[in-house]
């Protein structure tokens, strides 16, 4: 066993990891990373096919990000963001507001995606209170995921995350959402007239008096096994909620920053949620950074008597190094977006090649650069949840990092991953599926 892994096993408690699974797939000791590749302590390179939990939008250690971070850390490492300000935070906010699809006017910074969701939920409830309305419940989509702090868990539709803490969280109103195979642009624009859309709107109407906000992941419910929901559904639910005075929180923590083929996924539906949360790849995947974009005029409810102020803070809010990385990342993203249609097409070809003739793939879909395959075992039963672990282990043996969500295997490469990388990933994915499920 690698000496670092032995030391790790004595002292570390890893996230989203069952201790017993470490016997089956021990952690890989990583020494460095570059582009789409991780290098272990023996120098073996491993393809990071899920961008390290969807963060690494430009690949690891991108020289422009490294330069921005290095320059910033030598000048101003950190200053508390209450009572102080600095260039990287202001410039990043200006850039985000200029690129966002709606009329957003303010940015509230935090560290993780869960923090951003908590902030948006609290802002929504306080906004209603300031207008004399006691609205303390939230609505969310049945299969959605918004993080694992207690507030965010309350709006998590995915039972697996919520169930262990159900007694601790406040129940949300769960709205049904259609999930469909996305293959073409026509699939993307669908779902407006579905029964799910009607039922969701019915629930919003029935609970209008108590609903502070509805929170949803536009287009792809990523942790919810990459379920894809058409733009038509999104537009109808957003417009219905806003007409009922229910704030809309778009959680673009996973789907934002280019993943769906546009910088912001909400742009596909031409909707303008009241708040838009981003995180994960916001710093280019190098540092913890998240943000809530808030629509113009929303802050009016927080002015006036002191008790109207928003009482929420995270120590590292607006950290200059993270914001400098974010600014460099947004500059890179502008360039990357021009080539993205080619990358999406390459992924589509690779997806078809993997799916062709493989009985273990019951469905496959793609939204922009997000690709997913649903799997069944050789008896055509839906695969056991532990299949993810077997696939992860088999892929690692082939030097590819895949982390299936139960019986759904997905790819989320850095946005600009070239044809060689995409082809290599398709080859190894096919080989691993044949070995484990063939
Ligand atoms: C859509 C969405 N929202 C929120 C979160 C939580 O982000 P974090 O893990 O940074 O708290 C995630 C994480 O996967 C996510 O996918």
CATH number of the domain residue 215 falls in: 3.40.640.10
Position 160 confidence tier, pLDDT thresholds 50, 70, 90: confident
Ligand 1 centroid distance, CA of 114 (Å): 6
- Residues 22-64 have pLDDT tens digits of 888 899 999 999 999 999 999 999 999 999 999 999 999 999 9
Domains held by the chain: number: 2
Tell whether 310 and 367 lie within a shared domain.
Answer: no
CA of 255, closest atom in ligand 1: 1
CA of 280, closest atom in ligand 1: 10
Sign of CA dihedral 400, 406, 407, 409: negative
* Percent of all residues in the chain with a pLDDT value above 90, rounded to a whole number: 86
What is the model's pLDDT at position 1?
84
The verdict on the CB of residue 319 being under 6 Å from ligand 1 is no
Tell whether 18 and 89 lie within a shared domain.
Answer: no
CA of 223, closest atom in ligand 1: 16
Position 394 confidence tier, pLDDT thresholds 50, 70, 90: very high
Q: Which of 115, 254, 260, 275 to mutate to test the pocket of ligand 1 (most atoms within 8 A of CB)?
A: 254
Q: How far apart are CA 128 and CA 206, in angstroms?
A: 18
Position 383 confidence tier, pLDDT thresholds 50, 70, 90: low
Tell whether 312 and 281 lie within a shared domain.
Answer: yes
Ligand 1 centroid distance, CA of 287 (Å): 15
Tell whether 174 and 209 lie within a shared domain.
Answer: yes
The verdict on the CB of residue 221 being under 6 Å from ligand 1 is no
What is the model's pLDDT at position 285?
97
63-81 mean pLDDT: 98
Q: How far apart are CA 45 and CA 108, in angstroms?
A: 38
Of all protein residues, the one whose alpha carbon is nearest to atom 2 of ligand 1 is 146
Residues 6+ apart with CB under 8 A from 204: 139, 175, 211, 214, 237, 240, 241, 244, 246
The verdict on the CB of residue 145 being under 6 Å from ligand 1 is yes
Residues 6+ apart with CB under 8 A from 372: 225, 226, 364, 365, 366, 408, 409, 410, 411
Ligand 1 centroid distance, CA of 147 (Å): 5
The verdict on the CB of residue 253 being under 6 Å from ligand 1 is yes
Mean pLDDT of the chain, nearest integer: 94
Q: Which of 280, 281, 282 to mutate to test the pocket of ligand 1 (most atoms within 8 A of CB)?
A: 280
Reply yes or no on whether the pLDDT at 379 is more than 80: no
Tell whether 182 and 246 lie within a shared domain.
Answer: yes
Reply yes or no on whether the pLDDT at 250 is more than 60: yes
The verdict on the CB of residue 279 being under 6 Å from ligand 1 is yes
Picking from 331, 358, 393, the residue at the C-terminal end of a domain is: 331
Q: How far apart are CA 156 and CA 139, in angstroms?
A: 10
Q: Which of 358, 327, 350 is nearest to 49 (CA)?
A: 350
Reply yes or no on whether the pLDDT at 385 is more than 70: no
What is the model's pLDDT at position 381?
55
Most confidently modeled of 83-87, 158-162, 404-408? 83-87
- Residues 82-95 have pLDDT tens digits of 999 999 999 999 99
Reply yes or no on whether the pLDDT at 184 is more than 80: no
Reply yes or no on whether the pLDDT at 167 is more than 70: yes
Tell whether 194 and 298 lie within a shared domain.
Answer: yes
Q: Which of 56, 113, 144, 215 to mutate to test the pocket of ligand 1 (most atoms within 8 A of CB)?
A: 113
Tell whether 296 and 401 lie within a shared domain.
Answer: no
Radius of gyration of the chain (CA): 22
Q: How far apart are CA 150 and CA 118, in angstroms?
A: 9
121-135 mean pLDDT: 96
Ligand 1 centroid distance, CA of 145 (Å): 7
Helix (H, G, I), strand (E, B) or coil at 89: helix
- Residues 338-353 have pLDDT tens digits of 999 999 999 999 999 9
Tell whether 114 and 43 lie within a shared domain.
Answer: no
Task: Quote the DSSP letter at residue 172.
Answer: P
- Residues 187-208 have pLDDT tens digits of 666 666 788 899 999 999 999 9
Give the range of the structural domain holding residue 250, as residue numbers without chain letter: 64-331
Tell whether 139 and 112 lie within a shared domain.
Answer: yes
Ligand 1 centroid distance, CA of 221 (Å): 11
Picking from 302, 331, 360, the residue at the C-terminal end of a domain is: 331
73-80 mean pLDDT: 98
Range name among 85-89, 255-259, 374-378, 418-422 with the lowest pLDDT average: 374-378
Reply yes or no on whether the pLDDT at 332 is more than 80: yes
Q: How far apart are CA 18 and CA 35, in angstroms?
A: 29
What is the model's pLDDT at position 186?
62
Position 159 confidence tier, pLDDT thresholds 50, 70, 90: confident
Tell whether 230 and 104 lie within a shared domain.
Answer: yes
Tell whether 231 and 96 lie within a shared domain.
Answer: yes
Reply yes or no on whether the pLDDT at 185 is more than 80: no
* Percent of all residues in the chain with a pLDDT value above 70, rounded to a whole number: 95
388-395 mean pLDDT: 92
Position 179 confidence tier, pLDDT thresholds 50, 70, 90: confident
pTM confidence score: 0.96
Ligand 1 centroid distance, CA of 323 (Å): 19
Ligand 1 centroid distance, CA of 111 (Å): 11
Tell whether 260 and 293 lie within a shared domain.
Answer: yes
What is the model's pLDDT at position 432?
97
Picking from 296, 331, 366, the residue at the C-terminal end of a domain is: 331
Give yes or no for a contact between 51 and 414, defined as CB atoms under 8 angstroms apart: yes
What is the model's pLDDT at position 380?
52
CA distances from 205 to 47, 175, 198, 199, 310 (A): 47, 12, 11, 10, 28
The verdict on the CB of residue 254 being under 6 Å from ligand 1 is yes
Reply yes or no on whether the pLDDT at 137 is more than 70: yes
């Amino acid at each position: 066993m690698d000496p670092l892994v032995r030391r790790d096993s004595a002292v570390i408690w890893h996230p989203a990891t069952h201790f017993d699974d470490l016997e089956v797939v021990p952690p890989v000791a990583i020494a460095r990373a570059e582009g789409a590749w991780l290098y272990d302590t023996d120098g073996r390179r491993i393809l990071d096919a899920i961008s390290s939990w969807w963060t690494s939008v430009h690949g690891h250690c991108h020289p422009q990000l490294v330069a921005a971070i290095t320059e910033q850390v030598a000048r101003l490492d950190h200053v508390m963001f209450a009572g102080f300000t600095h260039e990287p935070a202001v410039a990043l906010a200006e850039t985000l507001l200029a690129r966002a699809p709606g009329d957003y006017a303010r940015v509230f910074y935090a560290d993780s995606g869960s923090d951003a969701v908590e902030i948006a939920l609290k802002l929504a409830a306080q906004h209603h209170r300031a207008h004399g309305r006691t609205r303390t419940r939230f609505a969310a989509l049945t299969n959605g995921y918004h993080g694992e702090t207690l507030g965010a868990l309350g709006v998590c539709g995915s039972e697996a995350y919520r169930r262990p803490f159900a007694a601790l969280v406040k129940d949300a109103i769960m709205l049904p959402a259609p999930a469909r195979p996305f293959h073409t642009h026509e699939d993307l624009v669908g779902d407006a007239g579905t029964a799910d859309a009607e039922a969701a709107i019915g629930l919003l109407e029935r609970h209008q008096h108590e609903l502070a906000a509805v929170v949803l992941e536009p287009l792809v419910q990523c942790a919810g096994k990459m379920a894809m929901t058409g733009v038509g559904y999104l537009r109808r639910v957003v417009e219905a909620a806003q007409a009922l005075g229910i704030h809309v929180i778009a959680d673009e923590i996973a789907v934002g920053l280019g993943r769906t083929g546009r910088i912001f996924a909400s742009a596909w539906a031409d909707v303008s949620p009241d708040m838009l949360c981003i995180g994960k790849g916001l710093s280019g995947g190098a540092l913890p950074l998240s943000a809530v974009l808030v629509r113009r005029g929303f802050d009016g409810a927080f002015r006036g008597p002191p008790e109207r102020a928003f009482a929420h803070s995270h120590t590292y809010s607006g950290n200059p190094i993270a914001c400098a990385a974010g600014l460099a990342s947004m500059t890179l993203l502008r360039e990357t977006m021009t080539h993205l249609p080619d990358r999406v097409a390459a992924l589509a070809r690779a997806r078809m090649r993997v799916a062709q003739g493989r009985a273990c793939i019951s469905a496959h879909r793609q939204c922009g650069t997000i690709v997913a395959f649903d799997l069944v075992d050789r008896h055509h039963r839906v695969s056991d949840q532990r299949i993810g672990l077997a696939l992860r282990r088999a892929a690692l043996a082939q030097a590819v990092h895949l982390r299936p969500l139960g019986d759904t295997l997905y790819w989320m490469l850095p946005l600009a991953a070239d044809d060689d990388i995409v082809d290599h990933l398709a080859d190894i994915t096919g080989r691993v599926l044949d070995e484990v499920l063939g």
